[in-house]
Amino acid sequence: MAKVSIYLNFPGTSEEAFNFYKSVFKTEWSAPIMRMGDMPAPEGMPALSKEDKNKVMHVALPTLAGVEIMGTDTLESMGHSTVIGNNTTISLEPDSREETERLFKLLSQGSTETAPLADQFWGALWGCCLDKYGIRWMFNFPLKK
């Protein structure tokens, strides 16, 4: 079933923020917290520091009416920063690869920032774009094996 989530970026405070949200909504994680050190090192990228390896790569928490908030820490060591404008993203999880590709193609027209759709190590087709109106959209279609 398709779903929409809200994705939040934090400057190293995801875990603290999500523990707070967990106490507010009185819900449990949708899946275990993934750390930056849990992902394979990208080719050609410098190794992560011990501190960065412990930062949150992904966390997800149900809130109300089936809406889930998800989050990550941005890594300054990789040239990322969190500012008003890149701290919130609408995350779409369509029902099919075809619908994911269709939505991405349309929403990324005139985009100023794009991470093209590609199969990812966590088992999903993933991509992201900043549309021509300045709204960030993330696409995540789980690949069934």
Q: Where are the domains of the chain?
A: 3-142
The superfamily (CATH) of domain 3-142 is 2,3-Dihydroxybiphenyl 1,2-Dioxygenase, domain 1 (3.10.180.10)
CA atoms of 102 and 98, how far apart (whole Å): 6
pLDDT score of 95 more than 70: yes
CA atoms of 142 and 145, how far apart (whole Å): 9
CA atoms of 19 and 65, how far apart (whole Å): 20
pLDDT score of 145 more than 60: no
Over residues 1-30, the pLDDT tens digits come to 889 899 999 889 999 999 999 998 999 999
User: Which pair of tokens denotes residue 107?
Assistant: 């929403």
Q: What is the share, in percent, of the chain residues with pLDDT greater than 90? A: 57
- 26 CA to centre of own chain: 22
pLDDT at 101: 96
Neighbours of 59 (CB within 10 A): 26
